[in-house]
Structure 1
């Protein structure tokens, strides 16, 4: 029965395609890809995992069958050209790498040169004898990942429609099918690559009018008053409106649009990568729209939160591009997807980033945070930046419970990186900061801030590194002219009394406070706010201990001075002479201070000893 045989063959073919899709329908994106290093690693990782799976079931495996078809096509093309190649050079791994690169990998960068370099990185890494360079323009795009509108949201706001079929955005469906066709092409021959390029040109032409409407939608946030009026006036006709129907203001809007789009490098995610956001079978926006994983190392740049950022980002007040990039990544990835980013450690310890942390807790269910210092060694040798490697899973539903796990601030010496990474230990910190640190500390009803006043001045050194320092004197600081001055890293505070002030000085110089600061701080800056927030209650029952702490503070100040040296440093303003201290030389006095603080906070002897030895192997006297 030919009809029955044909039906069975079609069912087998569909089953094979479903099997291929199950393995290769993974979508990984780097929204700030630079020259593509993360994407190259992603290609290797995904290729390796797929090869492991298919090698477990080699008999009639549809992926291996697909690779064999590509191999035969390449051989046939080489034979047509009279070129002989070694069959071993077209192994399954090499061919699969090309498929993964073209089908599964997405990247965006605002710099056109970076986009071209990313293509070169991937081409060099996946170079296959006999096969042409794959077409990558469809998935490696130039644009500003942070500035753009989602077509689905604009469609709902102005048109009240959620389906694509029969709507003004129906043409997007055709574009999505075109982009999918490009992704599925093997590019085994030059003709295949040329066809991919032609399909991409068709997509760009078809999507232009839709992108224009979204550009105009954005323009209202950048001072173009006519933009909002235009969309309200034309509604669903905005996509196909002709220039002869426009008044003077709206005609000017169209002219301004081209310049606006080019200067801002607008990037509308669901129109640039439509196959990620559109369900081709249901002709509707995908319910599981978005990438399966977003990875990268976004730029760390402070910015001014203008109207657009304030409107578009929950964490706009954090005022840093990496913060906005994290939030955008959360928007363009699907529920249950994974996020992996390298960001500054300010994510976990800066007050300014608290709103971003709250956003993460609302949107992600499983958050893992690994923190890395820069002394004595760095995780990235050429980057003088304390970093956090963040891995998180997006919630599948809003009610899902959030769990947060973090490492300590990791330190290591050169050559110990692999051992340190292999032994990373994560602790559940979900309930922090309410139960941050020892409960014995946080039983205190008050904070240091409750005992600051105007009666007795002392000084705080706001650069931490290995030792934290507070003084009852102002360290020597001579300007180039010989005139006495004050270092910009010295802050003056006041306590309610001399005794309380000296107790606070002892506290700040202690290893107990250093432990607290490593948990809360950024391993570099010591802010007055961190000192003020430390748990401390001035209990009259500890009067004798306070007296001993004040005496220990006096001894410490004297010892600091005795071990200090005057150094000179050259700066643009001239040569500065400053007093440098070596706290490690005063460690016995600091240990006595910790013993006394242990009595106040009710710490056990072994707990105090742990504090005194905390990170001691890395705490040198270097003041670099």
Structure 2
């Protein structure tokens, strides 16, 4: 951080006089930091008179009221709290809550947090805490496949599966005259693009007026955000379903690059029942479309496809005008579905699913209906 300030042109005397308190319960971590500052002091030929290293539990610190606003930054531990110890399931939320209380409406914070801070119902109240004052809130979201934000997990971890590396959100909160919330998509990149991706500012989307649910969404693009906004208050995909329907569609409960469909009610699939073939093909086209995938990437967790993700998908007033002309093509693709079967080995068993993402007609390309006046 200090080297970054120097590269940005901040005078070294200003950097060395920063009032900086570093808190960690791990003595080895503090010892490492102390050595790094010693190296930097020698290189710059100066000292850091306002540097304080405090070995303590962050939660036990009582922060004094000072004239200057606080700025909290760090990477809080992602550790499950013991039952009854906290209102939050995970310790990182305690760090965020404590920091929010101490910055009040005038200070700032920047934390690396689990992705769940943006969407989990467990942290709905934490998101509300962020909105208590006029603030500029920015969230950058990072996926863990194909590459990860951190090159490796804990040193003692023996699992080499990259999928186990933590997906992260970088939360920045700053004081402002009016409340503003911005969010990136769930950013993915290959290891070859790592340097370029992490050296530039991500694209943020304005989500201050988002009302679909109590999340901080991860907009895949501005168009899907517009679709969700214009579809508020309308009917949802659940309206196509029938509990006693004979036409059944099975959707895989996990996804990465496409929404998968299964043959029969096998484990790890959602069963959807429809009373007519027409509704079956309407749902099949929508769920396998680029429109639904972008919606899922915006409000889902980027891995699990929940029943709620499916049933709550909003049906825009004009969506059927785009869908109905494509149902004949959809029916033909379904009849030839073996062409789109994909298999993989999972826990020693071969599983298969259908991937229609490259074959189904695009719904995102025909976005003329989004030019209709936005609902109030």
TM-score (norm 1): 0.48
Distance 1:437 1:350 in 2: 22
1:407 corresponds to which residue? 184
Instruction: Give 1:364 shift.
Output: 5.1
Contact 1:373–1:409 under 8 Å retained in 2:
yes
Q: Find the partner of 2:166 among 385, 389, 393.
A: 385
What is the alpha-carbon distance in structure 1 between the residues aligned to residue 279 and residue 286 of structure 2?
10
| Match runs of 1:183-582 below 5 Å | 267-270=60-63, 277=64, 286=66, 288=67, 291=70, 293-304=71-82, 306=84, 308-310=85-87, 316=88, 319-333=89-103, 335-363=105-133, 365-382=135-152, 384-394=165-175, 400-420=177-197, 421-422=199-200, 424-434=202-212, 436-438=225-227, 441-442=230-231, 445-456=234-245, 457-471=248-262, 473-474=263-264, 486-487=266-267, 489-536=268-315, 546=324, 548-549=326-327, 551-564=328-341, 566-569=343-346, 571=347, 575-582=348-355
User: Over residues 343-372 of structure 1, what are the superposed CA-to-partner deviations in whole Å (9 max), with x where a residue is unaligned?
Assistant: 222222333333222211113511122223
| 1:542 CA drift (Å) | 5.3
Change in CA separation of 1:443 and 1:334 when aligned onto 2, cut-off 3 Å? closer
Please tell me whether the aligned partners of residues 106 and 175 of structure 2 are also in contact (alpha carbons under 8 angstroms): yes
Q: Structure 1 unaligned runs (5+)?
A: 1-40, 53-92, 147-266, 271-276, 278-284, 311-315, 476-485, 605-624
SS at match of 2:110: strand
For 1:143 and 1:560, the matched residues in 2 are separated by 60
Q: Give the match's secondary structure for 1:309.
A: coil
- Measured in 1, the distance between the counterparts of 2:138 and 2:44 equals 41
Q: What CA distance in whole angstroms lies between the structure 2 residues aligned with 1:338 and 1:496?
A: 54
| Aligned alpha-carbon RMSD (Å) | 3.8
Deviation of 1:118 (Å): 2.9
Distance verdict in 2 for CA 1:582–1:334, change over 3 Å: closer
What is the CA distance between 1:466 and its match in structure 2?
Answer: 0.7
When residues 375 and 50 of structure 1 are mapped into structure 2, their CA distance, relative to the original with a 3 A threshold, is: closer
Give structure 2 stretches of 5+ with no counterpart.
154-164, 213-223, 372-376
Q: Which structure's relative contact order is higher, taking Cα pairs within 8 Å and 6+ residues apart?
A: 2
Task: Provide the C-alpha distance between the structure 2 equivalents of 1:352 and 1:546, rounded to a whole number of angstroms.
Answer: 39
| Number of the residue aligned with 2:157 | none
- SS class of match (1:139): strand
Question: Partners in 2 of 1:337 and 1:134 — Cα distance?
Answer: 23
| Offset of residue 443 of structure 1 | 5.6
Equivalent pair of 1:469/1:508 in contact (CA under 8 Å): no
Which of the two has greater strand per residue? 2
Question: By how many angstroms is 1:529 displaced?
Answer: 1.0
Closer/same/farther in 2, CA of residues 463 and 491 from structure 1, 3 Å limit: same
Native 8 Å contact 1:451 1:495 kept in 2:
yes
Residues 211 and 229, structure 2, Cα contact 8 Å, conserved in 1: no
Are the counterparts in 2 of residues 449 and 532 from structure 1 also a CA contact under 8 Å? yes
Paired residue total: 346
Instruction: Give the number of the structure whose residues are more often helix, by fraction.
Output: 1
**Pair 1:562–1:358, CA change in 2 (3 A):** same
Provide the C-alpha distance between the structure 2 equivalents of 1:451 and 1:303, rounded to a whole number of angstroms: 41
Question: Once the two structures are superposed, what CA deviation does each residue of 1:177-217 show, in whole Å capped at 9, x if it has no partner?
Answer: xxxxxxxxxxxxxxxxxxxxxxxxxxxxxxxxxxxxxxxxx
8 Å contact from structure 1 (residues 123, 134) kept in 2: no
Contact 2:285 2:323 in 1 (8 A): no
What CA distance in whole angstroms lies between the structure 1 residues aligned with 2:4 and 2:209?
A: 34
Give, in whole Å, the separation in 1 of the partners of 2:3 and 2:229.
Answer: 49
SS of the aligned residue for 1:269 comes to: coil
Cα shift readout 1:58-115 (whole Å, capped 9, x = no counterpart): xxxxxxxxxxxxxxxxxxxxxxxxxxxxxxxxxxx5x876x54xx6221222333333
* Equivalent residue runs for 1:46-61 within 5 Å: 52=11
For the pair shown, the structure with the greater C-alpha radius of gyration is 1
From 31, 38, 55, give the equivalent of 1:142: 55
**SS of aligned partner of 1:494:** strand
If the length of structure 2 is used for normalisation, what is the TM-score? Answer: 0.76
| 3-state SS of 1:530 partner | helix
